[in-house]
Chains A and B, each alone.
Chain A
Protein backbone atom coordinates (compact mmCIF):
# COMPACT_ATOMS: atom_id res chain seq x y z
CA UNK A 1 0.00 0.00 0.00
CA UNK A 2 1.33 3.43 -0.91
CA UNK A 3 2.19 5.68 1.99
CA UNK A 4 1.49 9.37 2.42
CA UNK A 5 3.01 11.32 -0.46
CA UNK A 6 3.94 14.98 -0.38
CA UNK A 7 5.00 17.34 -3.12
CA UNK A 8 7.19 19.11 -3.85
CA UNK A 9 10.13 17.74 -1.87
CA UNK A 10 11.78 21.14 -1.73
CA UNK A 11 10.40 24.59 -2.34
CA UNK A 12 12.33 27.84 -2.40
CA UNK A 13 10.47 31.12 -2.18
CA UNK A 14 11.19 34.71 -1.31
CA UNK A 15 9.59 36.86 1.35
CA UNK A 16 6.04 37.95 0.52
CA UNK A 17 5.40 35.16 -1.96
CA UNK A 18 2.84 32.40 -1.59
CA UNK A 19 3.54 28.68 -1.27
CA UNK A 20 1.31 25.69 -1.98
CA UNK A 21 2.16 22.29 -0.56
CA UNK A 22 0.31 19.11 -1.49
CA UNK A 23 -0.43 15.85 0.28
CA UNK A 24 -2.02 12.57 -0.75
CA UNK A 25 -3.12 10.38 2.16
CA UNK A 26 -2.99 6.63 2.43
CA UNK A 27 -5.89 5.08 0.56
CA UNK A 28 -8.90 4.80 2.86
CA UNK A 29 -7.72 7.47 5.29
CA UNK A 30 -10.12 10.37 5.61
CA UNK A 31 -8.19 12.52 8.08
CA UNK A 32 -5.24 14.65 7.02
CA UNK A 33 -3.02 16.61 9.38
CA UNK A 34 -0.36 19.24 8.75
CA UNK A 35 2.59 19.90 11.04
CA UNK A 36 5.47 22.37 10.94
CA UNK A 37 8.93 21.34 12.08
CA UNK A 38 11.04 24.46 12.39
CA UNK A 39 14.57 24.53 13.75
CA UNK A 40 14.48 25.13 17.48
CA UNK A 41 10.68 24.99 17.71
CA UNK A 42 10.05 21.29 17.25
CA UNK A 43 6.99 19.74 15.67
CA UNK A 44 3.90 21.89 15.90
CA UNK A 45 0.37 21.05 14.83
CA UNK A 46 -1.01 23.27 12.08
CA UNK A 47 -4.30 21.95 10.70
CA UNK A 48 -6.57 18.91 10.74
CA UNK A 49 -8.99 18.09 7.93
CA UNK A 50 -11.56 15.33 7.96
CA UNK A 51 -14.23 14.59 5.36
CA UNK A 52 -13.45 17.86 3.62
CA UNK A 53 -13.89 20.05 6.69
CA UNK A 54 -11.33 21.85 8.85
CA UNK A 55 -11.71 20.24 12.28
CA UNK A 56 -8.98 21.88 14.30
CA UNK A 57 -6.31 24.50 13.93
CA UNK A 58 -3.07 25.11 15.76
CA UNK A 59 -1.71 28.41 16.97
CA UNK A 60 -0.76 29.80 13.57
CA UNK A 61 -1.82 33.04 11.83
CA UNK A 62 -4.60 33.04 9.23
CA UNK A 63 -2.10 33.26 6.37
CA UNK A 64 -1.68 29.51 6.93
CA UNK A 65 -4.70 27.88 5.35
CA UNK A 66 -5.62 24.77 3.49
CA UNK A 67 -8.29 22.57 2.14
CA UNK A 68 -9.18 18.94 1.63
CA UNK A 69 -10.52 17.71 -1.66
CA UNK A 70 -13.26 15.08 -2.27
CA UNK A 71 -10.53 12.45 -2.85
CA UNK A 72 -9.16 13.35 0.63
CA UNK A 73 -5.95 14.85 -0.71
CA UNK A 74 -5.03 18.16 0.82
CA UNK A 75 -3.26 21.44 0.14
CA UNK A 76 -1.53 23.73 2.57
CA UNK A 77 -1.26 27.35 1.48
CA UNK A 78 1.02 29.86 3.12
CA UNK A 79 0.55 33.47 2.07
CA UNK A 80 2.83 36.46 2.59
CA UNK A 81 5.80 34.23 3.37
CA UNK A 82 8.14 35.30 6.15
CA UNK A 83 11.68 34.14 6.85
CA UNK A 84 10.53 32.25 9.94
CA UNK A 85 8.24 30.11 7.79
CA UNK A 86 11.34 28.20 6.68
CA UNK A 87 10.72 24.67 7.96
CA UNK A 88 9.92 21.09 7.12
CA UNK A 89 6.17 20.75 6.59
CA UNK A 90 4.87 17.29 7.35
CA UNK A 91 1.56 15.83 6.33
CA UNK A 92 0.02 12.83 8.06
CA UNK A 93 -3.10 10.79 7.52
CA UNK A 94 -5.12 8.45 9.67
CA UNK A 95 -8.41 6.64 9.91
CA UNK A 96 -9.34 9.13 12.64
CA UNK A 97 -10.67 8.24 16.07
CA UNK A 98 -7.39 8.04 18.01
CA UNK A 99 -5.70 5.89 15.36
CA UNK A 100 -1.97 6.25 14.61
CA UNK A 101 -0.99 8.97 12.22
CA UNK A 102 1.21 8.03 9.26
CA UNK A 103 3.54 10.69 7.95
CA UNK A 104 4.93 11.61 4.57
CA UNK A 105 8.54 12.63 4.03
CA UNK A 106 7.67 16.31 4.10
CA UNK A 107 8.21 19.40 2.02
CA UNK A 108 11.21 21.51 2.96
CA UNK A 109 10.25 25.15 2.47
CA UNK A 110 13.07 27.66 2.36
CA UNK A 111 12.41 31.38 2.39
CA UNK A 112 15.14 33.62 1.02
Chain B
Protein backbone atom coordinates (compact mmCIF):
# COMPACT_ATOMS: atom_id res chain seq x y z
CA UNK B 1 0.00 0.00 0.00
CA UNK B 2 1.14 3.57 -0.62
CA UNK B 3 2.14 5.44 2.51
CA UNK B 4 3.17 8.72 0.95
CA UNK B 5 1.14 10.77 -1.48
CA UNK B 6 2.93 13.44 -3.48
CA UNK B 7 1.30 16.60 -4.65
CA UNK B 8 1.14 17.77 -7.37
CA UNK B 9 1.22 14.74 -9.66
CA UNK B 10 2.89 16.86 -12.33
CA UNK B 11 4.64 20.22 -12.33
CA UNK B 12 5.88 22.25 -15.28
CA UNK B 13 8.15 25.27 -14.75
CA UNK B 14 10.79 27.36 -16.50
CA UNK B 15 14.50 27.18 -15.80
CA UNK B 16 15.46 29.41 -12.90
CA UNK B 17 12.13 29.05 -11.13
CA UNK B 18 11.66 27.22 -7.86
CA UNK B 19 9.81 23.92 -7.68
CA UNK B 20 7.93 22.77 -4.59
CA UNK B 21 6.62 19.26 -4.11
CA UNK B 22 4.62 18.04 -1.15
CA UNK B 23 4.25 14.65 0.45
CA UNK B 24 1.71 13.44 2.98
CA UNK B 25 1.81 10.18 4.87
CA UNK B 26 -0.44 8.31 7.23
CA UNK B 27 1.46 6.64 10.08
CA UNK B 28 4.37 7.44 12.38
CA UNK B 29 7.78 7.28 10.76
CA UNK B 30 11.43 7.01 11.70
CA UNK B 31 12.57 9.06 8.73
CA UNK B 32 11.43 10.34 5.36
CA UNK B 33 13.54 10.26 2.23
CA UNK B 34 13.30 11.94 -1.15
CA UNK B 35 14.45 10.26 -4.34
CA UNK B 36 14.72 11.27 -7.99
CA UNK B 37 14.14 8.97 -10.95
CA UNK B 38 15.12 9.85 -14.48
CA UNK B 39 13.02 8.28 -17.22
CA UNK B 40 12.50 4.75 -15.87
CA UNK B 41 16.01 4.33 -14.55
CA UNK B 42 17.11 3.70 -10.98
CA UNK B 43 16.36 6.02 -8.10
CA UNK B 44 18.88 8.52 -6.85
CA UNK B 45 18.82 9.31 -3.15
CA UNK B 46 18.49 13.05 -2.55
CA UNK B 47 18.02 13.66 1.14
CA UNK B 48 16.97 11.94 4.37
CA UNK B 49 15.24 13.78 7.19
CA UNK B 50 14.69 12.12 10.54
CA UNK B 51 11.49 12.41 12.53
CA UNK B 52 13.14 14.70 15.09
CA UNK B 53 14.35 17.12 12.41
CA UNK B 54 12.27 19.93 10.94
CA UNK B 55 14.37 21.18 8.06
CA UNK B 56 17.36 20.02 6.06
CA UNK B 57 19.36 21.50 3.20
CA UNK B 58 21.55 19.97 0.53
CA UNK B 59 22.80 22.26 -2.20
CA UNK B 60 19.73 23.61 -4.03
CA UNK B 61 17.42 21.28 -2.12
CA UNK B 62 15.48 22.16 1.00
CA UNK B 63 13.30 19.63 2.77
CA UNK B 64 10.91 20.31 5.62
CA UNK B 65 9.10 17.82 7.81
CA UNK B 66 6.01 18.45 9.92
CA UNK B 67 5.28 15.32 11.91
CA UNK B 68 2.15 16.85 13.48
CA UNK B 69 0.64 17.23 10.01
CA UNK B 70 2.36 14.11 8.67
CA UNK B 71 3.69 16.05 5.73
CA UNK B 72 6.95 16.99 4.05
CA UNK B 73 7.95 19.33 1.27
CA UNK B 74 10.85 19.36 -1.17
CA UNK B 75 11.95 22.69 -2.59
CA UNK B 76 14.33 22.84 -5.55
CA UNK B 77 15.64 26.35 -6.03
CA UNK B 78 16.86 27.85 -9.30
CA UNK B 79 15.76 24.79 -11.26
CA UNK B 80 17.63 23.55 -14.33
CA UNK B 81 16.54 21.46 -17.30
CA UNK B 82 18.60 18.62 -15.81
CA UNK B 83 16.22 18.57 -12.82
CA UNK B 84 13.52 17.15 -15.10
CA UNK B 85 12.61 13.84 -13.48
CA UNK B 86 10.10 12.13 -11.22
CA UNK B 87 10.47 12.81 -7.52
CA UNK B 88 9.34 10.37 -4.86
CA UNK B 89 9.02 10.60 -1.12
CA UNK B 90 9.52 7.42 0.86
CA UNK B 91 8.82 6.75 4.50
CA UNK B 92 10.76 4.43 6.75
CA UNK B 93 8.59 3.24 9.62
CA UNK B 94 11.42 1.42 11.28
CA UNK B 95 11.59 -1.91 9.52
CA UNK B 96 14.30 -0.76 7.12
CA UNK B 97 11.88 -0.96 4.23
CA UNK B 98 10.64 2.06 2.36
CA UNK B 99 7.07 2.85 1.39
CA UNK B 100 6.94 5.11 -1.65
CA UNK B 101 4.39 7.58 -2.91
CA UNK B 102 3.38 7.71 -6.56
CA UNK B 103 5.66 10.60 -7.33
CA UNK B 104 5.64 14.06 -8.85
CA UNK B 105 6.73 14.43 -12.47
CA UNK B 106 8.74 17.64 -12.81
CA UNK B 107 9.37 19.20 -16.21
CA UNK B 108 11.80 22.10 -16.37
CA UNK B 109 11.80 23.90 -19.71
CA UNK B 110 14.80 25.91 -20.95
Contacts and interface: CB of A to CB of B under 8 A. Distances in A.
B97 A43 contact: no
A15 interface: no
A82 interface: no
A8 interface: no
B42 A42 contact: no
A106 B100 contact: no
Given A90-B42, A103-B44, A104-B42, A98 B92 contact: yes
Interface in A66-106: 88, 90, 92, 94, 96-98, 100-106
A16 interface: no
Nearest to B95: A56
Nearest to A104: B42
A31 interface: yes
Given A42-B100, A42-B102, A43-B88, A100 B45 contact: yes
Interface string B58-92: 00000000000000000000000000000010101
Decide if the interface of chain A is mainly helix, strand, loop or mixed.
strand
A42 B101 contact: yes
Nearest to B1: A59
Contacts of B98: 33, 35, 45, 101
Given A98-B30, A98-B31, A33 B43 contact: no
21 contacts: A42-B101, A42-B102, A43-B100, A45-B97, A45-B99, A48-B97, A50-B96, A90-B42, A94-B96, A98-B31, A98-B50, A100-B48, A101-B98, A102-B45, A103-B35, A103-B42, A103-B44, A105-B41, A105-B42, A106-B41, A106-B42
The 6 A-B residue pairs whose C-beta atoms are closest, nearest first, are A43-B100, A103-B42, A105-B42, A103-B43, A100-B45, A45-B97
